[in-house]
């Protein structure tokens, strides 16, 4: 039913994501990977999961980070009807996402993509704006129209094919671009609050996973100085390690049912 596509650049996060996809997916699935790094330890982890029976396929390796450029290659190799673009700093998902997405697509034939909602608290926005920027479409299925991108975007295969070639750069809002392309032929991209993911945005949770310096380096290389300033500025105001540990445990508990 569902093909998960991940361009992996941050193995610390990607290990957690892959294990959560394996644990919580209750429909036929595959996980397609493009490795945007050279990391022997991470490849050993992937080989172990494949040996254990996980439907993982590694489609490409680039020692340098090509970022979003990997996704068209992943999409083209997907075999199932639901094709998912996932940021590799999503580390935890709610169960039955494939079934929830399928219900939304079945009820709304003009729906071409649906993006999962994100965990939000005082330490993270998850990259989603406040809900006042959204208008309700289908309250029963938790569907809202508003700003979405590809942090965990599920596309209907036929709709993605109809969009034609989209050639993203290394850092590119691919999900938002696809939503715009869908609009040109009368289809929609909506947020779904009945599915939720933990998208590690912000310095507090990045520090919990030992990724603060790596994230600052990444955003600096992309010329995103405003994010570099945010992460560096908050370095001296981070919550206590035990507080973050409790928070992450609570997030995992909430996204387990």
What confidence score (pLDDT) does residue 37 get? Answer: 87
Looking at the predicted structure, is the pLDDT value of residue 4 above 90?
A: yes
- Give the CA distances from residue 195 to residues 7, 142, 179, in Å, rounded to whole numbers and listed in that order: 21, 9, 18
In the structure encoding, which two tokens stand for residue 150, read together? Answer: 């590809």
Specify whether 54 is located in the same domain as 85: yes
What confidence score (pLDDT) does residue 64 get? Answer: 80
User: Which tens digits make up the pLDDT trace of 78-124?
Assistant: 999 999 999 999 999 999 999 999 999 999 999 999 999 999 999 99
Whether the Cβ atoms of residue 71 and residue 5 lie closer than 8 Å to each other: yes
Specify whether 223 is located in the same domain as 151: no
How many other C-beta atoms can be found within 10 angstroms of the C-beta atom of residue 23? 12
Specify whether 211 is located in the same domain as 247: yes
Specify whether 162 is located in the same domain as 191: yes
Specify whether 69 is located in the same domain as 178: yes
- Residue keyed to tokens 């540990």: 245
Domain holding 214, by residue range, is 203-254
Looking at per-residue pLDDT, the higher value among 172 and 43 belongs to 43
Question: The whole model's pTM is what?
Answer: 0.96
Looking at the predicted structure, is the pLDDT value of residue 180 above 90?
A: yes
In the structure encoding, which two tokens stand for residue 174, read together? Answer: 């691919």
Specify whether 47 is located in the same domain as 151: yes
Q: Give the mean model confidence (pLDDT) for residues 40-58.
A: 97
Number of compact structural domains in the chain = 2
Specify whether 20 is located in the same domain as 109: yes
Q: What is the mean pLDDT of the chain?
A: 96
What confidence score (pLDDT) does residue 192 get? Answer: 98
φ and ψ at residue 91, rounded to 5 degrees: -120, -5
């Amino acid at each position: 039913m569902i093909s998960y596509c991940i361009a992996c650049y941050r193995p610390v996060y990607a290990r957690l994501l892959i294990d959560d996809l394996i644990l919580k997916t209750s429909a036929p699935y595959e996980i397609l990977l493009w490795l945007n790094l050279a990391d022997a330890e991470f490849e050993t982890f992937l080989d172990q999961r494949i040996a254990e029976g996980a439907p993982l396929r590694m489609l490409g390796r680039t020692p340098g980070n090509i970022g979003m450029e990997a996704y068209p290659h992943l999409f083209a190799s997907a075999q199932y009807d639901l094709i998912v673009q996932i940021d590799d700093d999503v580390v935890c998902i709610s169960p039955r996402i494939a079934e929830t997405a399928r219900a939304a697509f079945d009820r709304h034939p003009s729906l071409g993509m649906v993006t999962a909602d994100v965990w939000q608290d005082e330490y993270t926005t998850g990259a989603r704006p406040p809900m006042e920027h959204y208008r309700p479409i289908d309250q029963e299925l938790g569907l809202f129209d508003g700003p979405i991108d590809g942090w965990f975007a599920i596309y209907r295969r036929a709709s993605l094919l109809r969009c034609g070639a989209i050639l993203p750069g290394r850092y590119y809002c691919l999900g938002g671009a696809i939503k715009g392309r869908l609009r040109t032929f009368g289809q929609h991209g909506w947020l779904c609050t009945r599915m939720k993911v933990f998208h590690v945005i912000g310095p507090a949770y990045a520090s919990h996973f030992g990724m603060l310096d790596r994230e600052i380096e990444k955003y600096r290389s992309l010329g995103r100085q405003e994010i570099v300033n945010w992460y560096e500025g908050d370095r001296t105001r981070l919550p206590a390690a035990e507080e973050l540990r409790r928070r992450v445990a609570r997030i995992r508990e909430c996204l387990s049912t």
